[in-house]
Chain A
Amino acid sequence: MMCVLILAAAAGAVAAFLILRIWVVLRSRDFTPRESLSILVVAGSGGHTTEILRLLGSLSNAYSPRHYVIADADEMSANKINSFELDRADRDPNNMYTKYYIHRIPRSREVRQSWPSTVFTTLHSMWLSFPLIHQVKPDLVLCNGPGTCVPICVSALLLGILGIKKVIIVYVESVCRVETLSLSGKILFHLSDYFIVQWPALKEKYPKSVYLGRIV
């Protein structure tokens, strides 16, 4: 009986501590000026990759090194990223030695996959995302909505909660989303540091979001 009580008290204390950590991490805004920021970019398949590369088109050299995360077997995204980085290097000779890396993780969800099974594949992705995030320890994570980004962002958040590193999470909702948020958006709205939408109707519905017009 005593054991159960002690265990319950311990579990309660851990839970309270975690909730406090989550609250602290979500609230903190780190404004330390830095010369460079390592960035982890989540490139979901197809259109998501195209959009995020359009977004990165004007990114300054201060954002390096760049780590890209793509789904297993998504060779198309790998090719697009390689072309993009080559173009970038061509346009700016001083940039030639900026390193970039491509990492692969399993997909959270296939197009048209049923929702119940998505829970399992997402948990599986989380199991594999966390070691990657822990290894890379980026300063900033940038994503734009594919299912793949949820485990990544949650892993980044976990790094902060565990006191390892505070990672800035920037979520840019796809330009496809005019009136409603994607499922990833709805989840990450509460977990990201900067949540950017590209249409005024969304800014109205989510006043805490950032609206800069179309940015892709």
Chain B
Amino acid sequence: MKCVFVTVGTTSFDDLIACVLAPDSLQKTESLGYNRLILQIGRGTVVPEPFSTESFTLDVYRYKDSLKEDIRKADLVISHAGAGSCLEALEKGKPLVVVINGKLMNNHQLELAKQLHKEGHLFYCTCSTLRHCTPAW
């Protein structure tokens, strides 16, 4: 079972959740061979309904004591640009796509994403360019 884990840490990042759940995104996810999508939504106000079909499962939750297990199970991690989330995913050796939240003050998270990308550790994009982030997908 190939799994995508989406995490926003303790923040609210509704744009990312909405983007990942858009019909064409879900289609793309499935077409790339993933049949499980786990959304850790933090403080977000977009709360999708989990579902499970024969071919695809969607899990949703706000927080867990530790994300280690979900990161371990994932084949791809899509994360907000928080340091903790990035470091945890990279320490587990997972392919990582970081999505920058354009609505944050001064967007300091962009610095870390850019630097880690320069060093070849992850891909980064915004919500609107996520679907074009094909190398990672």
Whether A199 pairs with B84 at a CB distance below 8 angstroms is: no
Looking at the assembled complex, report how far the CB atom of B71 sits from the nearest CB atom of chain A, in whole angstroms: 13
Looking at the assembled complex, report how far the CB atom of A19 sits from the nearest CB atom of chain B, in whole angstroms: 32
Q: Give the secondary structure class of A's interface.
A: loop
Whether B83 pairs with A216 at a CB distance below 8 angstroms is: yes
Whether A117 is near chain B, meaning CB under 8 Å from some CB there, is no
What is the chain B residue whose CB lies nearest that of A174?
B83
Whether B56 is near chain A, meaning CB under 8 Å from some CB there, is no
Looking at the assembled complex, report how far the CB atom of B98 sits from the nearest CB atom of chain A, in whole angstroms: 12
Q: How many residue pairs between the two chains, A and B, have CB atoms under 8 Å in the bound complex? A: 54
- Taken together as a complex, chains A and B put the C-alpha atoms of A126 and B114 apart, in Å, by 35
Interface residues on A, range: 20 to 34
Asked whether A111 and B104 contact (CB < 8 A) given A79-B65, A175-B87, the answer is: yes
- Taken together as a complex, chains A and B put the C-alpha atoms of A47 and B79 apart, in Å, by 13
- Taken together as a complex, chains A and B put the C-alpha atoms of A50 and B65 apart, in Å, by 12
Which of A76, A111, A174, A176 lies in contact with B63, CB distance below 8 A?
A76
What is the chain B residue whose CB lies nearest that of A53?
B84
Which of B23-31, B47-55, B105-113, B129-137 is near enough to bind chain A? B105-113
Whether A213 is near chain B, meaning CB under 8 Å from some CB there, is no
Whether B57 is near chain A, meaning CB under 8 Å from some CB there, is no
Residues of B at under 8 Å CB distance from A? 9-11, 63, 65-66, 81-85, 87, 103-105, 108-109, 111-112, 114-115
